[in-house]
Amino acid sequence: MSRELQLGDKIYRLDQRTLVMGILNVTTDSFSDGGRFNRVENAVEQAFKMAEDGADIIDIGGESVRPGFVPITAEEELNRVIPVIKSLKNDPAFKLPVSIDTYKAAVAEEALKLGVEMINDVYGLKADHRLGKVAARYNVPICLMHNRDSTDYNDLIPDILAELGESTRIAHQANVKDEQIIIDPGIGFGKDLQQNLDVMYHLREFHSLGYPILLGTSRKSMIGKTLNLPLDERVEGTAATVAYGISAGADLVRVHDVLQMRRVADMTDAMVRR
């Protein structure tokens, strides 16, 4: 497994500290913050705030994939994300790498042309195989998330590992280099509450695939259902999942509340990355 992640001209040592990826949804209907940052000026302000709060990467998404979401066209997605990307990439004061949260090759390519350094695909290359070729052509890291339509598994963890293995094979067929692959077990996608908790319990087993792990639990229904709390009261629950995830070997965490989770990550790193 590569213990370095290169994003543009920045090289991160994954054995030294956990990377914090700040979520920037420029959507109208994302489950947690839809509509808050769908104006360019608001989105740019939030990106700078997350940078100040300790984010290492900003993950920009223009299409909500919440349960029951309505897909949008690539053109509409581009209309949402490209102005924000341009504003950030054209501002010399903004120093952080940017990830594009999309499963569409056309959207990723336009973002990468503007200097975006990473792709985050919630369908693990199974929605648009061309996306792998785009990642390979621009030689950028790509995160492959586990996702499926059903919660009906034969054997939960082996099935998820096998399905993530399929995603990595698709990436290899597209000539994506091993060191550019990150995996995400997909908390909240194709899993019920108990299955999500089981994935967390078995998180260490995902290292068997040989890739860095990104964990995305922030404010998700697993926390809301376990604690019986609404979206705006899930910071502590998210913190518990981040701390546990890092102790189980997560290399990156994708979060809304960057300031708090940066502190959680730093404290956990001080104990487990020795």
- 102-131 tens-digit pLDDT: 999 999 999 999 999 999 999 999 999 899
Tell me if 69 is assigned to some domain: yes
274 in any annotated domain: no
The pLDDT of 228-246, averaged and rounded, is: 97
Q: Residue 143: give the domain boundaries.
A: 4-268
The number of residues making up the chain comes to: 274
pLDDT at res. 29 = 52
**pLDDT digits over 46-93, tens only?**
999 999 999 999 999 999 886 666 789 999 999 999 999 999 999 999
Least confident of 7-11, 65-69, 177-181, 243-247: 65-69
Write the burial class of residue 150 (CB in 10 Å: 0-12 exposed, 13-18 middle, 19+ buried): exposed
pLDDT over 70 percentage in the chain:
94
CB–CB of 82/101 below 8 Å? no
In DSSP notation, the chain reads ---EEEETTEEEETTT--EEEEEEE-SS--TTTTTTS-SHHHHHHHHHHHHHHT-SEEEEESS--STTPPP--HHHHHHHHHHHHHHHHT-TT--S-EEEE-S-HHHHHHHHHTT--EEEETTTTSS-THHHHHHHHHT--EEEE---S----SSHHHHHHHHHHHHHHHHHHTT--GGGEEEE--TTSS--HHHHHHHHHTGGGGGGG-S-BEE--TT-HHHHHHHT--GGG-HHHHHHHHHHHHHTT--EEEES-HHHHHHHHHHHHHHH--
Q: Mind listing the pLDDT tens digit for each residue in 170-227?
A: 999 999 999 999 999 999 999 999 999 999 999 999 999 999 999 999 999 999 999 9
| Total domains, the chain | 1
Least confident of 3-12, 32-41, 98-107: 32-41
Cα–Cα separations (whole angstroms), residue 146 to 79, 151, 157, 167, 191: 27, 12, 11, 8, 10
Active-site amino acid positions: 220, 254
- Alpha-carbon distance of 60 to 87, in angstroms, equals 13
Q: Is residue 71 part of a domain?
A: yes
Q: Report if residue 20 sits inside a domain.
A: yes
As a whole number of angstroms, the distance between CA 15 and CA 274 comes to 9
Residue 97 lies in a domain: yes
Q: Are the C-beta atoms of 77 and 63 separated by less than 8 Å?
A: yes
User: Which CATH number is 72's domain given?
Assistant: 3.20.20.20
Q: What pLDDT is stored for residue 74 in this prediction?
A: 95
The pLDDT value given to residue 31: 47
In a domain, 190, yes or no: yes
Residue 205 included in any domain: yes
Residue 73 covered by a domain: yes
Query: Quick one: pLDDT at residue 39?
Result: 83
pLDDT at residue 28, as a whole number: 75
What is the percent of the chain with per-residue pLDDT over 90, rounded to a whole number? 90
Ramachandran region, residue 8 (left: φ > 0; alpha: ψ -120 to 50; beta: rest): left
pLDDT at residue 274, as a whole number: 76
What is residue 27's predicted lDDT score, i.e. its pLDDT?
A: 82
Which among 55, 39, 69 is positioned nearest to 99, based on CA atoms? 55
Does 30 score more than 50 pLDDT? no
Please give the average per-residue pLDDT across 7-19, as a whole number: 95
Overall average pLDDT of the 236-241 stretch: 98
